[in-house]
Structures are given as structure tokens and as C-alpha cells.
């Protein structure tokens, strides 16, 4: 939810069109399942406020969720550890780059 709010706040103008764009990004029927998988593999992703804030402001929450749905069970623990490490450094742009890079790897 915080990710969607951040995306709305970052819009130049909050109007119906910008709200619909954000709703579309966060509106996939399975949205949330990938995040839950990542959090289950590494509870720190759910409990560490610094990590949560950095993930939310990265602008890549929907991509993060897709990544969590795309990765196989065997790779999930390592991915969730790497994600926590990157997010704990509090660099939202680096987190977004990490998520998008890893998503390309797993969606091949």
C-alpha cells in the first residue's frame, strides 16, 4: 500500500488518469502473492522498517511482486537475502535497478 501511495505522491498532478495508472500497476489479480513469498523466505523484508520504506519508495513494488512470483522455490531464499541487503542500504534507485535486473533474469 505504501508503494502505491508513494507513486501517487510522486505524480506531477494527481488526477483521475494518474490514479488509474497507479491502480493498473498495483491491480493484477495475483498482486501480493510474490511479496508474501519473499517475506516468508526472509521475514526481515516484513519487519525491518528501513527495508520496507526503501522498497516502497523504489517505485518498483509491482515489479518486486512479479519477481517474487517468478522465482522458483530453490532460488527464493538467496534472492530474498540479496534484496534485504540492497534495500538496507537505503538507496531506492539501486533497489529498483536490482529488482528490474533480477526480474529480467527470472522471466526468461
Q: Mind listing the pLDDT tens digit for each residue in 10-38?
A: 667 767 776 667 566 666 788 889 999 99
Task: State the DSSP code for 75.
Answer: T
Structurally, the chain folds into a number of domains equal to 1
Rounded Cα distance between 75 and 22, Å, is 29
- Using DSSP's 3-state secondary structure scheme, residue 28 falls into coil
Residue 64 near residue 99, CB atoms below 8 Å: yes
* Domain residue limits at 67: 2-106
Q: What is the pLDDT of residue 7?
A: 64
pLDDT in tens, 61-83: 999 999 999 999 999 999 999 99
Q: What is the pLDDT of residue 29?
A: 80
- For the record, the C-alpha cell of 39 comes out as 517475506
Distance in Å from the first CA to the final CA of the chain: 28
Q: What is the pLDDT of residue 1?
A: 57
Rounded Cα distance between 70 and 85, Å, is 20
- pTM for the full predicted model: 0.79
Amino acid at each position: 500500500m505504501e508503494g502505491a501511495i508513494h507513486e501517487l505522491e510522486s505524480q506531477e498532478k494527481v488526477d483521475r488518469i494518474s490514479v488509474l495508472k497507479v491502480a493498473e500497476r498495483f491491480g493484477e489479480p495475483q498482486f501480493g502473492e510474490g511479496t508474501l513469498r519473499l517475506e516468508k523466505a526472509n521475514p526481515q523484508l516484513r519487519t525491518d522498517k528501513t527495508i520496507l520504506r526503501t522498497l516502497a519508495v523504489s517505485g518498483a513494488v509491482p515489479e518486486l511482486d512479479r519477481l517474487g512470483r517468478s522465482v522458483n522455490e530453490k532460488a527464493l531464499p538467496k534472492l530474498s537475502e540479496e534484496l534485504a541487503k540492497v534495500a538496507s542500504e537505503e538507496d531506492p534507485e539501486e533497489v529498483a535497478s536490482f529488482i528490474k535486473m533480477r526480474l529480467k533474469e527470472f522471466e526468461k
